């Protein structure tokens, strides 16, 4: 099977890194609660925590150009490494991720470093940078953004967040990579 996996808020918990970054470099003292993520964009997430739109924009631009943020600060989601190891061993896996900021070369390079550090078994040459994942051709897409999943022609797997709960057309919905039903679904996939 050809399987595409999104990075931000799917394979890793990007929103937690946004919180950490904003608190360390901007001394905001904010907490971003997963259950309050009604938008999947950095600026609305920060504005929802009480920052001004101007400051949220500044933080977003700073994040987009900070290699350390992408390479070191973002943590892999619990259980994701084991599932990805299984998928990479048995299927053709591509990380399909957006570039965050079009001009954010630190983002692109940082994501490569992150993948090498967190998924050393993954073939880095299979990484695809795109904001249009629904155009990819394959058997499955694992993502958190309903617009990306909605137009995809294969199986649609969605990591559950408040901002995607209105979408009901997915084949599987999971909260964490360790969810028993999700693990059973993944391990039941036929090998290539």
- For residues 152 and 139, state if they share a domain: yes
Which domain, by its residues, includes 40?
14-73
Domain boundary among 73, 91, 118: 73
Domain boundary among 26, 54, 73: 73
Give the total number of structural domains in the chain: 2
Measured distance CA(51)–CA(2) in Å, rounded: 41
Structure tokens at 10: 């799917």
Residue 175 belongs to domain with CATH number: 3.40.50.1000
- For residues 68 and 116, state if they share a domain: no
**C-alpha distances in Å from residue 67, one per residue of 104, 113, 174:** 9, 9, 30
Alpha helices (H) in the chain, listed in sequence order: 14-26, 42-48, 53-64, 67-68, 80-90, 105-118, 146-150, 180-187
Q: How far from the centroid of its chain's Cα atoms is residue 70's Cα?
A: 12
Q: How far from the centroid of its chain's Cα atoms is residue 150's Cα?
A: 16
- What tens digit of pLDDT does each residue of 140-176 get? 999 999 999 999 999 999 999 999 999 999 999 999 9
Measured distance CA(82)–CA(119) in Å, rounded: 9
Residue 192 lies in a domain: no
Q: Residue 100 has what pLDDT?
A: 64
- For residues 29 and 51, state if they share a domain: yes
**C-alpha distances in Å from residue 10, one per residue of 24, 51, 84:** 24, 25, 12
Question: Mean pLDDT, the chain, as a whole number?
Answer: 92
- For residues 91 and 178, state if they share a domain: yes
- What tens digit of pLDDT does each residue of 67-79 get? 888 888 899 999 9
pTM comes to: 0.93
Alpha helices (H) in 71-175, listed in sequence order: 80-90, 105-118, 146-150
- What tens digit of pLDDT does each residue of 103-128 get? 667 888 889 999 999 999 999 999 99
Q: Residue 72 has what pLDDT?
A: 84
């Amino acid at each position: 099977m050809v399987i595409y996996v999104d990075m931000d808020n799917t394979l890793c918990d990007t929103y937690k890194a946004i919180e950490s970054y904003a608190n360390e470099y901007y001394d905001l003292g904010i907490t971003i609660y997963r259950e309050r993520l009604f938008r999947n964009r950095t600026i609305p997430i920060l504005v929802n925590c009480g920052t001004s739109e101007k400051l949220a924009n500044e933080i977003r631009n700073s994040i987009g150009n900070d290699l350390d943020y992408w390479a070191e600060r973002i943590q892999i989601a619990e259980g994701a490494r084991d599932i990805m190891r299984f998928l990479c061993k048995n299927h053709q896996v591509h990380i399909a991720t957006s570039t965050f900021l079009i001009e954010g070369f630190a983002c692109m390079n940082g994501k490569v470093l992150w993948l090498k550090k967190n998924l050393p078994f993954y073939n880095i040459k299979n990484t695809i940078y795109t904001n249009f994942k629904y155009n990819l051709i394959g058997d499955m897409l694992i993502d958190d953004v309903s617009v990306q999943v909605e137009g995809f022609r294969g199986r649609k797997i969605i990591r559950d967040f408040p901002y995607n709960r209105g979408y009901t057309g997915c084949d599987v919905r999971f909260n964490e990579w360790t969810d028993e039903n999700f693990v059973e679904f993944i391990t039941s996939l036929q090998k290539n």
